[in-house]
Amino acid sequence: MLKICAICGKSKAAGKSVVRKGLAKQKGGTGSKITRSTARSFLPNLQKIRITLNGRVQKAYVCTKCIKKGLIKKA
């Protein structure tokens, strides 16, 4: 599956998954510390729908933001 929106070009974004350890200062501890972080990717919410693109009907992957904004015309 292509992970890119056909309208806005939104694709996956890189980030980190952070693990924290320790009691928070508000709860009487010394504060939470980051113990480890691993790489992860944030994938866009893509839907495969039939749209009219350049006067032709075709199936394409479109993100839900573009669908909600009405940037596409459904076939």
3-state SS track over the chain? CCCCCCCCCCCCEEEEEEEEECCCHHHCCCCCEEEEEEEEEECCCEEEEEEEECCEEEEEEEEHHHHHHCCCCEC
Structural domain tally of the chain? Answer: 1
pLDDT at 53: 85
Would the pTM count as exceeding 0.75? no
**In terms of residue numbers, what domain contains 32?**
13-69
Domain membership flag for residue 22: yes
Please give the Cα distance from 32 to 23 (Å, whole number).
Answer: 6
Mind listing the pLDDT tens digit of every residue in the chain (75 residues)? 578 999 999 999 999 999 999 999 999 999 999 999 999 999 999 999 999 988 899 999 999 999 999 999 998
Residue entry with tokens 């501890």: 29
Half-sphere exposure of 11 (CA within 13 A, CB side): 6
In this predicted structure, what is the pLDDT of residue 1?
Answer: 59
Residue 5 lies in a domain: no
Which residues are 43's β-sheet partners? Answer: none
